[in-house]
Amino acid sequence: MSKPCAHVKEIRDVKPSGSGCEECLKMGDTWVHLRECLICGHVGCCDSSKNKHATKHFHQTRHPIMRSFEPGENWRWCYVDEIALD
């Protein structure tokens, strides 16, 4: 059995940084899906988007856990452990 993700203790009650990808909006670009950092609230585009700002945010900040910011989706992901979280 795999060990549980220890990073869940870092999750905070965050406010989304916006209603779209922060960086894409500044660039006038588009995205496919959105992700929200559960440490600081940064909203960035997913890895299916050409700019991959959510993953870039992780590499810049080391904030380990994000969630889908898509309506009706309720999943989270730990970048460090590379696992989906319940």
Residue 37 φ/ψ, nearest 5 degrees = -70, 130
Q: What is the mean pLDDT of residues 26-48?
A: 98
What are 38-85's pLDDT values in tens digits?
Answer: 999 999 999 999 999 999 999 999 999 999 999 999 999 999 999 999
Burial class of residue 1 in the structure, from the number of CB atoms within 10 Å of its CB (0-12 exposed, 13-18 middle, 19+ buried): exposed
Domain ranges of the chain: 6-85
pTM score, two decimals? 0.93
Which class in CATH covers the domain with range 6-85? alpha beta
Note the pLDDT of residue 3: 64
Q: Is the pLDDT of residue 2 over 90?
A: no
